[in-house]
């Protein structure tokens, strides 16, 4: 019975929030992995998808550049979806991406046992918003008392250090 009480007390103990720098290094590791994955798709997206359409629009359209930009936008959207599949997939599966695993940190919901698909999607939407705003909202992690970034506020999550057994 004493063991059960000790286990219960350990589960109630709040985890330590991950620092801005720890999170940043984890994010850089993930960014490198995502870039490698995306680079495998880049020739297909660029030469297999965009180039033929660019040539075709130049042959038959009075506005080839407008259509070419539309196809370029489609290629960029595909790259965003690849990154989204990586981040959302790992967050739902483990609460950690490989970069977060390497840094010994994990995403946890404010309430509930694990990150839901909805929270993961909202968090990724927060990543996109932060990227569009030149990554400035990421700096919020450095001053927030719970070390939450905009993406964490969107999804009601926090990033904590993984306790060592």
pTM score of the predicted model: 0.81
Per-residue pLDDT at 7: 42
Per-residue pLDDT at 58: 63
Residues 22/25/30/36 CA torsion (nearest 10 deg) = -170
Name the residue ranges covered by the structural domains of the chain.
17-161
Say if residue 5's pLDDT is above 70.
no
Residue 138 CB partners (closer than 8 Å, separation 6+): 24, 130, 149, 150
Confidence of residue 135 (pLDDT cuts 50, 70, 90): confident
Say if residue 8's pLDDT is above 50.
no
pLDDT tens digits along 108-120 = 998 888 999 999 9
Of 135 and 156, which is predicted with more confidence? 156
Say if residue 107's pLDDT is above 90.
yes
CA distance 149 to 165: 28
* Token couple for 69: 């930009």
Mean pLDDT of 78-84: 93
CA distance 141 to 148: 5
Say if residue 21's pLDDT is above 90.
yes
Work out the number of other CB atoms within 10 angstroms of the CB of residue 91: 25
Torsions phi, psi for 105 (to 5 deg): -130, 165
Per-residue pLDDT at 14: 60
* Token couple for 62: 């009075």
């Amino acid at each position: 019975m004493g063991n059960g009480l000790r286990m219960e007390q350990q589960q109630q103990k709040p985890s330590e929030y991950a620092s801005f720098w720890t999170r940043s290094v984890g994010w850089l590791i993930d960014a490198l992995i995502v870039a490698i994955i995306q680079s495998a798709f880049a020739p297909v997206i660029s030469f297999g998808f965009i180039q033929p359409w660019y040539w075709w629009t130049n042959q038959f359209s009075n506005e080839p550049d407008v259509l070419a930009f539309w196809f370029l936008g489609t290629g960029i959207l595909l790259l965003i979806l690849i990154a989204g599949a990586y981040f959302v997939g790992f967050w739902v599966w483990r609460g950690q991406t490989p970069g977060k695993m390497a840094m010994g940190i994990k995403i946890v919901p404010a309430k509930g046992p694990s990150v839901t698909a909805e929270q993961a999607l909202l968090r990724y939407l927060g990543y996109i918003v932060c990227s569009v705003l030149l990554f400035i909202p990421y700096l919020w992690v450095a001053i927030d008392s719970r070390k939450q970034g905009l993406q964490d506020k969107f999804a009601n999550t926090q990033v904590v250090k993984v306790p060592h057994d």
